[in-house]
């Protein structure tokens, strides 16, 4: 199947957020892909608030099944979470479980006034009542496949690729 161009989706996402931008908005990317998207958006939108990141490994609901994932990165929220307006950023929105974990983690830092959700790609098939406010594109993906975001280390340019679940990097 054909996946859309990630750079175009990023433009579209930035455009959608810009429509209701306020200068106290804080972006929080979810490791790893969501952080790449959030970093680019942060620059495109010219935000002055610190860019946040969360690694949801300690909040996942599949720990009992899969154990702790290797390569956990520290979560980093360098702003006052109490009363903040947050936009949570992920690369590919799927079951919604990662978003639940990320929200639980954010609430351990404080009580934000609002959290909105931005995703570069929404592949549907939600298992939880979670709905994004900003989406680059909706795509339909065959079962057993994953949409993966890649970031060029030098240019930070984003691209999407389809991989079979077994071959997940």
Partner 1 sequence: MSTNPQLTPEGRLRHLLTIDGLPAEILLQILDTARSFISVTEREVKKVPLLRGRSIFNLFFEPSTRTRTTFEIAAKRLSADVVNLNIATSSQTKGETLLDTVANLSAMNADMFVVRHAQSGAAHLIARHVGPHIHVVNAGDGRHAHPTQALLDMFTIRHYKGGFDGLRVAIVGDVLHSRVARSEIHALTTLGVPEVRVIGPRTLIPVEVARLGVHVFHDMSAGLRDVDVVVMLRLQNERMDGALLPSAREYFKCYGLTAEKLALASPNAIVMHPGPMNRGIEIESSVADGAQSVILPQVTFGIAVRMAVMSILAGN
For the record, the structure tokens of 79 come out as: 């702003």
- Give the Cβ contact number of residue 61 at 10 Å: 14
Query: Would you say 82 or 125 has its CB closer to partner 1?
Result: 82
Rounded distance, CA 169 to CA 159, Å?
Answer: 15
Rounded distance, CA 22 to CA 133, Å?
Answer: 15
Rounded distance, CA 4 to CA 7, Å?
Answer: 9
CA R_g for the chain: 15
Residue from 7, 21, 50, 73 touching partner 1 (CB under 8 A): that is 73
Query: Would you say 16 or 58 has its CB closer to partner 1?
Result: 58
User: Is residue 141 a contact partner of residue 111, using CB atoms and an 8 Å limit?
Assistant: no
74 is an interface residue for partner 1 by CB under 8 A: yes
Could you tell me which stretch among 19-27, 39-47, 58-66, 134-142 binds partner 1 (CB under 8 A)? 58-66
166 is an interface residue for partner 1 by CB under 8 A: no
Q: Which of positions 94-113 make contact with partner 1 (CB under 8 A)?
A: 104, 107-110
70 is an interface residue for partner 1 by CB under 8 A: yes
Query: Would you say 75 or 98 has its CB closer to partner 1?
Result: 75
User: Is residue 78 a contact partner of residue 54, using CB atoms and an 8 Å limit?
Assistant: no
Query: Would you say 18 or 111 has its CB closer to partner 1?
Result: 111
128 is an interface residue for partner 1 by CB under 8 A: no
Closest CA to 123 of 84, 158, 92: 92
Q: Write out the residues near partner 1 by the rule CB under 8 A.
A: 55, 57-59, 63-64, 66-68, 70-76, 81, 104, 107-110
């Amino acid at each position: 199947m054909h996946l859309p161009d990630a750079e175009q989706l990023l433009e579209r996402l930035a455009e959608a957020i810009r429509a209701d931008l306020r200068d106290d908005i804080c972006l929080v990317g979810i490791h790893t892909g969501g952080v790449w998207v959030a970093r680019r958006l942060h620059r495109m939108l010219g935000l002055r608030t610190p860019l946040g990141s969360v690694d949801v490994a300690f909040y996942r609901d599949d720990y009992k099944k899969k154990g702790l994932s290797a390569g956990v990165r520290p979560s980093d929220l360098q702003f006052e979470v109490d009363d903040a307006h947050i936009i949570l950023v992920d690369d590919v929105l799927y079951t919604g479980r990662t978003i639940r974990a990320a929200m639980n983690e954010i609430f351990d830092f404080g009580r934000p006034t609002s959290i909105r959700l931005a995703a570069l790609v929404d592949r549907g098939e939600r298992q939880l009542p979670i709905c994004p406010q900003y989406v680059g594109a909706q795509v339909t993906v065959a079962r057993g496949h994953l949409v993966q975001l890649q970031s060029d280390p030098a240019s930070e340019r984003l691209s999407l690729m389809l991989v079979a679940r077994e071959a997940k990097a």
